[in-house]
Copies of this chain bind each other. A is one copy, B any other.
Amino acid sequence: MSENNLGDHISHRFDEELEAVRNQVLKMGGLVERQVASGISALIEHDHTLARVVARSDVKINALEVSIDEQCTQIIARRQPTASDLRLIISVIKTITDLERIGDEAEKLGEYALRVENEGIRARHYEQLQHLGDHVLKMLRDSLNCFAKMDVEMALLTIASDKRIDDEFESVSRNLITHMMEDPREIASVLHVTWCARALERIGDHAKNICEYVVYLVKGKDVRHISLEQVAEEVDIELDIDIEDGDK
């Protein structure tokens, strides 16, 4: 290689490093998504084998978090990235923290599914989590797609959809309270279901955080803590949905 290419080469290797980190995040995201899907299935389909796997398998996710963190720190130290590259790295550092915590919540779903087996908790209550679980899983998938495609519009729509998950969580909670009142002997069992509903709702919160980092990454705006309407205006995007409706 001639010396003339050295500049390009260095920058090319830097691009490759950033691309490698992005791919690692997507790999971690894929693992986390499968963990959540398995956690939900284990609960609803009373699949104890799957529950056991989910309850003990976030080792890979944790290892990926530590390794991606390390790669990011090394890239910053060696490459002195500026502006958009630095935003990508900071976004990655924040995204993997949320992914790891989604992994923790999935692990909890697995542990609760195991308790159903071990403590003779009535399994039928878990069927109420189907809708909430489906929506949370879709939201997580969407947030990872936003990250993969750097799609700000989709990120804002996904952020808006968190409100629906919160509403659904409230509705499941109300139902479960009714069950408890109707049959107080079931209180301990039903309480476990509400913990699982809460874990799912948390996963929605983390997915929302990931979408906020995508907006920061692409637009350079920190959109946490401001209303969606304001965000859409600030980043100059017209959303198809009625934001107020989605965010009220």
Report A's interface with B, CB cutoff 8 A.
59, 62-63, 65-66, 69-70, 72-73, 76-77, 80-83, 86-87, 90, 93-94, 97, 173, 177, 180-181, 184-185, 187-188, 191, 194, 198, 222, 224-225
Contact = CB atoms under 8 A, between A and B. Distances in A.
List the 3 shortest-distance A-B pairs measured between CB atoms, nearest first: A62-B225, A184-B184, A80-B80
A225 B76 CA distance: 24
A147 to B, nearest CB: 17
A87 B74 CA distance: 11
Contacts of A222: 66, 69-70
Copies of the protein in its oligomer: 2
Contact of A94 (B86, B93, B173): B93
A86 B73 contact: yes
Is the contact region of chain A dominated by helix, strand, or loop, or is it mixed? helix
A72 B185 CA distance: 53
A231 to B, nearest CB: 13
Given A65-B224, A73-B87, A94-B97, 5 more contacts: A69-B90, A70-B222, A72-B90, A173-B191, A177-B187
A77 B70 CA distance: 18
A225 B191 CA distance: 28
Contacts of A191: 173, 177, 194
B73 A77 contact: no
Nearest to A85: B77
8 contacts: A62-B225, A65-B224, A66-B222, A72-B90, A93-B93, A177-B188, A181-B184, A181-B187
A50 to B, nearest CB: 23
Contacts of A198: 198
B62 A224 contact: yes
Contacts of A80: 80
Contacts of A87: 73
A4 to B, nearest CB: 26
A119 to B, nearest CB: 13
Contacts of A188: 177
A86 B76 contact: yes
A82 B76 CA distance: 8
